[in-house]
Structure 1
Amino acid sequence: MSMEADYIERMKRLMNWEASRQAPPEGFPHLPDMPAGRYTSQEYYDLEQQYLWKKTWLFAAHIDEVPDPGCFMKWENIGDPIIIIHGMDGEVRAFYNTCRHRGAPVVTEEKGKAPRLMCGYHNWTYKTDGSLIGVPEKQDFGPEFDMSCRSLIPVRCERLGNLIFVNFDSEAMPLKQWLGPVWDEWEEFGFDRIKLAARHSFDLECNWKVAMEANMEVYHVPFIHPETVAPLVDSKRNVNTIYPNGHARMLAPPPQTTDREHVRAVDSPPEWQQIDTVGEFGRTCTQSYTMFPNWVSPLSNYFVPPLIFWPTGLNTTRLELVTMALDWGDGPAPDLWTVPDDSQPNGRAMSPIILEDTQFGEMIQKSMESDGFKSVPLSYQEARIYSFHQTCDKMIGLNRVPEHLAVDQVIGEDWVYPNDPRVAEMERAEAAE
């Protein structure tokens, strides 16, 4: 569903209004300091592990990684080992990689293809729909043994086009409802047509939120990215939008001397196909979405390239750099975020833009762990970060977060899409001109 013309026109006016304002919007709440312990406290990290990650939809795979019936892959990005499998019936499912006999892993290969899954310990055998169909020496379990009660334990698994998401909460809302209006806005980017071009992981020495938040505001762009991002992004005219369930969007036009669409066309090899359904903002602006909890991605008429942040410890993170695009023909697969580097184990290194955003992570973490780090004051430009932290606490449970670690829930529904008090303030300013 492409954005309607009146919405596009209103957002363009908001961009100009953002550049002209001399203070935060009228009625926008003061953002209280966030406690330092949200980045340094094992107590808060443990709450995230127990409640946040087990209740949210998480990007797990692209269908190209399990392309055919019988294809499976292991997935362990938040600890619990699961299997993602393309069933012989065509359905993609997820299961705990745990045999129902004595807990051995059902599969040990990272990826594979088989019409059945067989645990190597005692050869208990499962169909690709998870049902148990084979138990050696079954008679020794006695007449009460019911194989139908011993299927692999499922994990919620749903798709957005070619992308596969999982959720460990059996009671979680459906993925489409979780994304809300973002689901409709993403229709134009061809999630059902894009192919997986690149997927590489890198380890960072900082809390996952430190790494992720570098991609959730443009306040830093003129200072960290003066030669890379700043020439293409007018940070003064950036418009942030907060969506339900912790999602958000940054929409920044190029500087008025830059034609973003032309720059993309020049930088893109001719064999790369454009996603022809992408609308005006995707072609001409920098448009980056945060999908709670750990996905950040600019979306354009050439790429869907998410950055995915996985906690591996209180002060360590695994960053996945993914590029998805339409078919690139016989040319090399596009990789927006990494460059060749034979000195690295996987033969790739982070691109200059990613290095600019991650270079301070380890130093920031060490600084945060000192007695000099007391709290975090955020500006209106950084409101997406504050809203993100509000959602973290809501997912954990407001009654579970200790007072000394909690953020105040000051950004109310009146600032969450489709509500936007800025529009009325802008219209009053226009009328006064």
Structure 2
Amino acid sequence: MLEDAEVARLKALMEWEGRRTAPPKGFPKLPDMPAARYTSEEYFALEQQHIFRKSWLFAGHIDEIPEPGCYMRWHNAGDPIVIVHGMDGVVRAFYNTCRHRGAPVVTQDRGKSSRLMCGYHNWTYKTDGSLVGVPERQDFPADFDLSCRGLIPVRCEMLGNVIFVNFDDEAMPLTEWLGPLMNEWDEFAFDRVRLAARHSFELKCNWKVAMEANMEVYHVPFIHPDTVAPLVDSKRNLNTIYPNGHARMLAPAPRQTDREHVRAIDSPPGWQQIETVGELGRTCTQSYTLFPNWVSPLSNYFVPPLVFWPTSLGTTRLELVTMALDWGDAPAPDLWTVPDDSQPNGRQMSPIILEDTQFGEAIQHSMQSAAFKSVPLSYQEARIYSFHQTLDRMIGIENVPDGLRVEPVIDERWVWPNDPRVEEMATGV
């Protein structure tokens, strides 16, 4: 939770941002980014190999596997995984691949069992992954060791009730990956929020095209004049870059708007507030990018991540998730979708999400043209540039072809806890 002095500093910086007439002194000029980062099959393959195999990824919520023995299939990052609420109470993840001849251990999206049994030859595993049953055991060698043939685990850790996975056995722990976000997110009750809604939609654009629409407020007055603009003063927007590729945007409402009484993005009256949320979460739009593919505003009503999963170079699966405190007998809150019987799942993206995604397919098509050569970004779009720097750093700059690299010009001076804007604000020079 943010200390009072930090809240005061952030409020002062937002006002300073609204008064400045140029980027902060010393902020680097952002070189154009190579356009092919959005259209290159080679770069897409590098992202799959190095980003989505080495980052902590949102997998689900404990409400999806609420009791010991419950399991769910998960395959948003390629390899099939089963996430299991163990009989011992521990949540684990495993490759959904039998150690015999590779058949899936579970074939239903969700289920409950004290054992996981492959339907091909009935090899049977405990919920901790250990192999405990092999039919016709006498036909295997006498020294056939069941203890070394359990399900292969995938790193799995939890932030409160939220489940994350990581394919990299050498990855830092989730709490270290989150860094300062652990403290800042403490007030949002990750250990108490329930899963209210989770829906997926297919987009016809590169995952970065879709995600980056949620990583700057430059577009807000033009794309969201009646939805987001009444809540967000884009002139007083304050961006913060964190270690490991994460970032935050913080913006008050326009001066003529009392955000406490305008809830276009938040909830209608009667839904339960998270009482521990501080002043900024109640009065400002506070949105976090959790590298690599989660963007979420956090408020005193919701933890509602938008999660962007690349399904091909030019397609994305967008997951729209709403988490909130227990809503009792009221309808489950759903921040990002609305009923629509014409859709296969009976839901449609909300007006705000439709506004953000409306140009994705056209943008991707336009990017394929010979006219799309490079991407110039402004200071207000620095979170996007920093995000791309992190992509290259995790891939390994030596692995990125020369024509696809971004120059790492945003250095540690501009990464939390450092912030040269504080001194410029204080001195006025």
Superposed pair shares fold, TM > 0.5 = yes
Aligned-pair CA distance for 1:271: 3.6
Alignment partners' CA distance in 1, 2:306 and 2:27: 29
Alignment partners' CA distance in 1, 2:79 and 2:134: 25
Aligned-pair CA distance for 1:266: 11
> Aligned residue for 2:389?
390
| TM-score, scaled relative to structure 2 | 0.99
In structure 1, runs of 5+ residues without a counterpart are none
> Aligned residue for 1:325?
324
> Aligned residue for 1:94?
93
> Aligned residue for 2:375?
376
> Aligned residue for 2:164?
165
User: Aligned to 2:262, what secondary structure does the other structure show?
Assistant: helix
Aligned: 1:50 with 2:58: no
Alignment partners' CA distance in 2, 1:84 and 1:377: 42
User: Aligned to 2:398, what secondary structure does the other structure show?
Assistant: coil
Alignment partners' CA distance in 1, 2:180 and 2:260: 25
> Aligned residue for 1:194?
193
Deviations 1:60-107 (A, max 9, x none): 010000000000000000110000000000000000000000000000
Alignment partners' CA distance in 1, 2:411 and 2:269: 46
Alignment partners' CA distance in 2, 1:271 and 1:130: 44
Residue 42 of structure 2 aligns to which amino acid in structure 1? E
> Aligned residue for 1:62?
61
> Aligned residue for 1:353?
352
Alignment partners' CA distance in 1, 2:262 and 2:204: 34
Aligned-pair CA distance for 1:164: 0.1
Alignment partners' CA distance in 2, 1:232 and 1:18: 17
Alignment partners' CA distance in 1, 2:78 and 2:71: 18
Alignment partners' CA distance in 2, 1:9 and 1:88: 47
CA shift in 2, pair 1:411/1:133, >3 Å: same
User: Aligned to 1:231, what secondary structure does the other structure show?
Assistant: coil
Residue 282 of structure 2 aligns to which amino acid in structure 1? R
Aligned-pair CA distance for 1:272: 1.3
Aligned: 1:21 with 2:20: yes
Alignment partners' CA distance in 2, 1:70 and 1:285: 41
Aligned: 1:228 with 2:259: no
Aligned-pair CA distance for 1:270: 4.2
Aligned-pair CA distance for 1:264: 3.4
The answer to whether the 8 A contact 1:272-1:329 is kept is: no
The answer to whether the 8 A contact 2:98-2:104 is kept is: yes
> Aligned residue for 1:238?
237
Alignment partners' CA distance in 2, 1:252 and 1:267: 15
The answer to whether the 8 A contact 2:237-2:252 is kept is: yes
Aligned: 1:213 with 2:251: no
Alignment partners' CA distance in 1, 2:231 and 2:164: 32
- The CA RMSD measured in Å over matched residues stands at 1.1
Alignment partners' CA distance in 1, 2:249 and 2:99: 45
> Aligned residue for 1:427?
426
Deviations 1:196-242 (A, max 9, x none): 00000000000000000000000000000011100110000000000
Aligned-pair CA distance for 1:267: 6.6
Residue 67 of structure 2 aligns to which amino acid in structure 1? D
Residue 276 of structure 2 aligns to which amino acid in structure 1? T
The answer to whether the 8 A contact 1:132-1:150 is kept is: yes
CA shift in 2, pair 1:157/1:267, >3 Å: closer
User: Aligned to 2:287, what secondary structure does the other structure show?
Assistant: strand
Residue 255 of structure 2 aligns to which amino acid in structure 1? Q
The answer to whether the 8 A contact 2:157-2:165 is kept is: yes
CA shift in 2, pair 1:278/1:267, >3 Å: closer
Residue 126 of structure 1 aligns to which amino acid in structure 2? Y
Alignment partners' CA distance in 2, 1:177 and 1:154: 21
> Aligned residue for 2:130?
131
Residues 255-274 of structure 1 correspond to what in structure 2 (within 5 A)? 255-264=254-263, 268-274=267-273
Residue 372 of structure 1 aligns to which amino acid in structure 2? A
CA shift in 2, pair 1:275/1:120, >3 Å: same
Aligned-pair CA distance for 1:12: 1.1
CA shift in 2, pair 1:36/1:161, >3 Å: same
Aligned-pair CA distance for 1:3: 0.9
The answer to whether the 8 A contact 1:190-1:277 is kept is: yes
Residue 102 of structure 2 aligns to which amino acid in structure 1? G
User: Aligned to 2:199, what secondary structure does the other structure show?
Assistant: strand
Deviations 1:256-300 (A, max 9, x none): 111112223997344411000000000000000000000000000
Residue 415 of structure 1 aligns to which amino acid in structure 2? W
> Aligned residue for 1:176?
175
> Aligned residue for 1:300?
299
Residue 197 of structure 2 aligns to which amino acid in structure 1? A
Aligned residue pairs, count: 429
The answer to whether the 8 A contact 1:70-1:114 is kept is: yes
